[in-house]
């Protein structure tokens, strides 16, 4: 009999990649999504996986919807990927971020404990929890969150650990460092850069406005990182794992690589604007994924250079073939 998995946040970047991976592994996949005024399944279509999964409406603010989703899917594994995940927005919407990305985790854990405590549970924790702690970061590094998002995620991270030790649940947290892809949301700096590079190359934009160019991040490919999530739930016990490449680059370096992919010099187009700077910044994140490598046998496959090229090429293709992309969009409405 096929294993069943419930993924919350299936309409997001990681949700789509994880759905694809689990379908390929023979799982029956249920995807939790929240109703929006405009349908939001484009990532599932982009990876050609929507036809293979069953969608269930659920919202992390609504406990009953979580219980109904568990009853409908009766899963062996739950991957809690749903969150308000944009750090910048968490300064403007601190309370809803806490409700969804923090308390939402407890709603999930309590629902699982109530419905069937033997379900294996994955929590999407984040390197943002390290915040002001200087790199490198591993599972023992101190957490010093620098945003309402990071504080909410740290709450969810601790609660996951509490349910693991207190209630003996198979609950794991993946402390994932930044991971990107062609289906990354356009608010995030990598996608903002690659999308604008393509627009500039096509003549649709003249400049790229950014905030702090000196921030450093450990950027990997989302397709590699969802494999680590699955591996965590295949272990005999739940645990915490850092997932990262072990290499970090500045926003400036990302710009340089992205513009040079289309034969342009970033210095001619990038402008620094205060409106894109945050009230608090995380200057540098760099992960040490030794534990994931040794215990899970996980390591990243896509390099920084390959990631930048993949994202720029996908955005160029989108603007060079607008008919194909608008037809796809219309088909998915
Ligand atoms: P994403 O693209 O922003 O996706 C977030 C998902 O959560 C979307 O499907 C979104 O639905 C859903 N969601 C938001 N509020 C919800 C609510 N109240 N109820 C139910 N669903 C809700 O994020 P991602 O990059 O895939 O990241 C996946 C998870 O990993 C997140 O928890 C994020 O915080 C965490 N994480 C990400 C990274 C990274 O670098 N990508 C690193 C560390 C941790 P809509 O489509 O309707 O908005
Ligand atoms: O791409 P970002 O918005 O990602 P950030 O804040 O690192 O958060 C992402 O990674 C976390 C894991 O570490 C996840 F938990 C979280 O959900 C999300 O996926 O910003 C990266 C850096 C920041 O230092 C930011 O200040 O880029 C800097 N930056 C400079 N100019 C900008 C911009 N960020 C954005 N989004 N937009 C800018 O114009």
Q: What pLDDT is stored for residue 1 in this prediction? A: 87
This model's pTM is above 0.95: yes
Catalytic residue among 79, 149, 241, 266: 149
Taking the C-alpha atoms of residue 135 and residue 242, their distance in angstroms, rounded to an integer, is 13
Whether 128 is catalytic is yes
Phi, psi (deg, nearest 5) at residue 196: -75, -35
Q: Rg of the chain over CA atoms, in angstroms?
A: 19
Percent of the chain at pLDDT > 90 equals 95
Structural domains of the chain, ranges and CATH numbers in brackets: 4-179+219-243 (3.40.50.720), 185-218+247-283+303-332 (3.90.25.10)
Percent of the chain at pLDDT > 70 equals 98
Catalytic residue among 11, 97, 126, 160: 126
Q: What pLDDT is stored for residue 328 in this prediction? A: 66
Could you tell me the two tokens for 177?
């460092």
DSSP for 244-259? --S--EEHHHHHHHHH
Q: What pLDDT is stored for residue 330 in this prediction? A: 63
Could you tell me the two tokens for 331?
């088909």
Label residue 247 left, alpha or beta by phi (over 0 means left) and psi (-120 to 50 means alpha): beta
Q: What pLDDT is stored for residue 329 in this prediction? A: 63
Give the pLDDT mean for 64-80: 98
Is the pLDDT at 324 greater than 80? The verdict is: no
Q: What pLDDT is stored for residue 322 in this prediction? A: 82
Site to substitute for ligand 2 among 178, 205, 254, most atoms within 8 A of C-beta: 178
Tell me the per-residue pLDDT of 206-234, one tens digit each, with 9 for 90 and over. Answer: 999 999 999 999 999 999 999 999 999 99
Q: What pLDDT is stored for residue 292 in this prediction? A: 98
Pocket flag, ligand 2, residue 187 (CB < 6 Å): yes
**Mean of all residue pLDDT scores within the chain:** 97
Site to substitute for ligand 2 among 217, 222, 229, most atoms within 8 A of C-beta: 217
Q: How confident is the model at residue 326 (pLDDT cuts 50, 70, 90)?
A: confident
Give the pLDDT mean for 304-329: 90
Dihedral sign, Cα of residue 156, residue 145, residue 235, residue 122: positive
Q: How confident is the model at residue 256 (pLDDT cuts 50, 70, 90)?
A: very high
Q: Residue-wise over 300-327: b if at least 16 C-beta within 10 A, else e?
A: bebebeebbbbbbebbbebeeeeeeeee
Whether 303 is catalytic is no
* Residue 25 · residue 51 · CB < 8 Å: no
Tell me the per-residue pLDDT of 94-142, one tens digit each, with 9 for 90 and over. Answer: 999 999 999 999 999 999 999 999 999 999 999 999 999 999 999 999 9
């Amino acid at each position: 009999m096929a294993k069943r998995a419930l993924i919350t946040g299936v309409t997001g970047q990681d949700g789509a990649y994880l759905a694809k991976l689990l379908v390929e592994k023979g799982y029956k996949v249920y995807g939790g999504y929240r109703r929006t005024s405009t349908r939001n399944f484009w990532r599932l279509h982009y990876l050609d996986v929507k036809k293979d999964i069953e969608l269930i409406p659920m919202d992390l603010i609504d406990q009953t919807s979580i219980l109904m989703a568990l009853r409908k899917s009766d899963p062996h594994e739950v991957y809690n990927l749903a969150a308000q995940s944009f750090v910048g927005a968490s300064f403007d919407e601190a309370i809803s971020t806490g409700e969804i990305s923090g308390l939402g985790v407890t709603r999930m854990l309590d629902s699982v404990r109530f419905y069937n405590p033997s379900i294996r549970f994955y929590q999407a924790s984040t390197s943002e929890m390290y915040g002001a702690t200087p790199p490198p970061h591993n599972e023992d590094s101190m957490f010093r969150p620098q945003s309402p998002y990071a504080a909410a995620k740290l709450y969810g991270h601790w609660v996951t650990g509490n349910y693991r030790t207190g209630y003996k649940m198979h609950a794991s947290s993946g402390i994932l460092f930044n991971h990107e892809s062609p289906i990354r949301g356009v608010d995030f700096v990598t996608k903002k850069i690659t999308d604008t590079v393509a627009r500039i190359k096509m003549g649709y934009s003249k400049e790229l406005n950014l905030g702090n160019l000196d921030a450093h991040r450990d950027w990997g490919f989302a397709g590699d990182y969802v494999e680590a999530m699955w591996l965590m739930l295949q272990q005999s016990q739940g645990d915490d794992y850092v997932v990262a490449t072990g290499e970090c680059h500045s926003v400036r370096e990302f710009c340089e690589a992205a513009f040079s992919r289309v034969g342009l010099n970033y210095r001619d187009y990038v402008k620094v604007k205060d409106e894109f700077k945050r009230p608090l910044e995380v200057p540098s994140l760099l992960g040490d994924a030794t534990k994931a490598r040794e215990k899970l046998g996980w390591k990243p496959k896509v390099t920084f250079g390959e990631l930048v090229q993949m994202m720029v090429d996908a955005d160029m293709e989108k603007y060079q073939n607008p008919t194909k992309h608008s037809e796809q969009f219309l088909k998915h409405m």
